[in-house]
Chain A
């Protein structure tokens, strides 16, 4: 599948979204409801992306080494590790669990 068109459209939308804030009458975007929806949607999307990457495998759920990465990442975040360390810890946890034979 050629993803270039979708990548470029997504890039265009990202810029138009940012720019709209500078041109759309402030009243429209300033409504507390719009701000709340943008914010709660951000939380929902990131939570969903975390779950999908941890347990989804196509259209089924799979419980494998990625769950270990989720747990290890949570512990690292709990200990206030910086983002890059969290990512490396997640990667290392999944790799180690696979070495130990848990897919």
Chain B
């Protein structure tokens, strides 16, 4: 019972429930977009990165090709590589442990660990959030996929509207300050301009190049856009702030 007294475990569990639950929207949207039950589950079991999963099905739902969907998902997953580097430095996993730890390295597990100052707490927070989200995300993906199949015509239920809201919901927590808004506006404009001229799915990659170029050529926060979808420490947390200051300083 001592484990449940750990603040990191408590945060990890609550973030698991909040994040895991919205697997239901991924499952429903994937099946409404024409993915089979096992394809939908493959995303949540093997890709396990919410943004990338939504990106893949979003591109396909918009008529994009498999290769465009794959590229969008891969580019959206790039930040997980940065998280991996941070968690490797912070938690120092030994040998084989790196392999399972890498799979659950996502926005939320990284944010939960970074918000703790004690090394044991950091480790507990990372694993509780990572494993908790993995289990619940997959359970609720399955629930959503089965429910989506039973719904019938997805448009009648407004599921295409649900996809719009889902992407906006993923974007929203990253729009803190003027710069991210400007990047989002530039990407949106590039998308709209590109739509009539290139095949479906490609406008998203055009926008990725535009946003990447802005990051490459301008100076600003080095952790821009690296916010979790659900913030484990919504009311501020002194050590979380310290960790983000430290990241900025690097």
Instruction: Please give the residue numbers on chain A whose beta carbons come within 8 Å of chain B beta carbons, in ascending order.
Output: 1, 3-11, 13-15, 17-24, 26, 29-30, 32-56, 58-61, 65-66, 68-70, 72-74, 76-77, 82-84, 86-96, 98
Let me know if A91 and B158 touch, CB within 8 A.
Answer: yes
Q: With contacts A21-B105, A49-B72 known, is A39 near B168, CB below 8 A?
A: no
Residue of B nearest to A24 (CB): B85
Q: Is the CB of A1 within 8 A of B169?
A: no
Residues 84-98 of chain B, each 1 if its beta carbon lies under 8 Å from chain A, else 0? 111111000100001
Q: Please give the distance in Å from B58's CB to the nearest CB on chain A.
A: 5
Please count how many residues in chain B sit with their CB below 8 Å of the partner chain's CB atoms. Answer: 111
A contact face: mostly helix, strand, loop, or mixed: helix
User: Given A21-B85, A39-B226, is A14 in contact with B161 using a C-beta cutoff of 8 Å?
Assistant: no
CA distance A25 to B86 in the complex (A): 12
Q: In the complex, what's the smallest C-beta–C-beta distance from A8 to chain B, in angstroms?
A: 7
B195 within 8 A of A: yes
Question: What residues make up the interface of B, taking CB atoms closer than 8 Å to A?
Answer: 18, 21-22, 24-25, 35, 39, 42-43, 46-49, 51-52, 54-56, 58-63, 65-67, 69-70, 72-89, 93, 98-99, 101-103, 105, 155-172, 174-175, 180, 183-188, 190-192, 195-200, 203-204, 206-208, 210-212, 214-216, 220-226, 229-230, 250
The answer to whether A18 touches B226, judged by C-beta atoms less than 8 angstroms apart, is no
| Bound CA–CA A74/B175 (angstroms) | 12
Contact B223–A35 (Cβ < 8 Å): yes
How far, in angstroms, from A86 to B172 measured CA to CA in the complex?
11
Interface contact B47-A48, CB-CB below 8 Å: no
Which residues of B lie under 8 Å from residue A37 when comparing CB positions?
Answer: 78, 212, 215-216
Q: A13-B77, A40-B225 are in contact. Are A20 and B165 (CB under 8 A)?
A: no
Among A26, A95, A98, the residue within 8 A (CB) of B85 is: A26
Contact partner of A47 (CB less than 8 A), chosen from B39, B77, B184, B224, is: B184
Q: Among the listed A13, A20, A70, A77, which residue makes an inter-chain contact with B70, where contact means beta carbons less than 8 Å apart?
A: A13
